[in-house]
C-alpha cells in the first residue's frame, strides 16, 4: 500500500528518489526498501545527501542499520526534523 496524504517529509523524500533514480513514477511502499525502487548503493548515498540538504538534518549511518523499511525511515526523518526544530527554538529562546 502506498503512503497517502503526503506530508512535507514524504513529499521531499519522494521527489528526491524520483530525481536520483530518474523515475517520475516512484511510489513509496511503507514495507519497501530503496533497492526495490531501483536505487543502487551510490544512489542511496546521493539520496541521503540530498535529504540532509533539503531537511537540514544529519543522517547517521549507524542509526540506519536498524531501520527495516520505508515507513520506519520516514519516521526516522520526521524525528530528525522535529529534533532540529526543537534545537532551533531553544537557540532562539536563549538569545
Partner 1 sequence: MNRELAGKVSLVTGAARGIGRAIAIRLADMGSSVAVNDLPDNDEAVKVVREIGDSGGEAIVAPADVTDSKAVKAAVKQITDRWGKIDILVNNAGIIRHNLFLRISDADWDDVIATNLRGAYLCTRFALRTMLTQGWGRVINIASIAGITGGLGHTSYAASKGGLIAFTRGLASEVGVKNITVNAVAPGLVITAMTENLSQEARDAMLSRSALKRFGTAAEVAELVAFLATDRASYITGQVICIDSGVT
Identify which of residues 60 and 82 has a Cβ nearer to partner 1 in the complex: 60
- Could you say which of 46, 78, 81, 84 contacts partner 1 (CB under 8 A)? 46
C-alpha cell at 18: 524520483
Helix/strand/coil percent split, the chain, to 5: 65, 0, 35
Residue 64 contacts partner 1 per CB under 8 A:
no
Residue 58 contacts partner 1 per CB under 8 A:
no
Identify which of residues 7 and 60 has a Cβ nearer to partner 1 in the complex: 60
Q: In whole angstroms, how far apart are CA 77 and each of 28, 62, 90, 94?
A: 14, 14, 20, 26
The residues binding partner 1 (CB under 8 A) are 40, 42, 45-46, 49-50, 53
Amino acid at each position: 500500500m502506498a503512503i497517502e496524504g503526503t506530508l512535507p517529509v514524504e513529499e521531499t523524500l519522494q521527489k528526491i528518489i524520483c530525481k536520483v533514480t530518474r523515475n517520475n513514477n516512484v511510489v513509496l511502499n511503507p514495507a519497501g526498501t530503496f533497492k526495490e525502487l531501483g536505487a543502487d548503493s551510490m544512489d542511496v548515498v546521493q539520496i541521503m545527501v540530498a535529504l540532509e540538504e533539503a531537511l537540514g538534518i544529519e543522517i547517521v549511518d549507524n542509526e540506519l542499520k536498524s531501520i527495516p523499511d520505508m515507513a520506519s525511515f520516514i519516521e526516522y526523518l520526521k524525528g530528525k526534523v522535529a529534533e532540529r526544530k526543537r534545537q532551533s527554538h531553544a537557540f532562539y529562546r536563549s538569545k
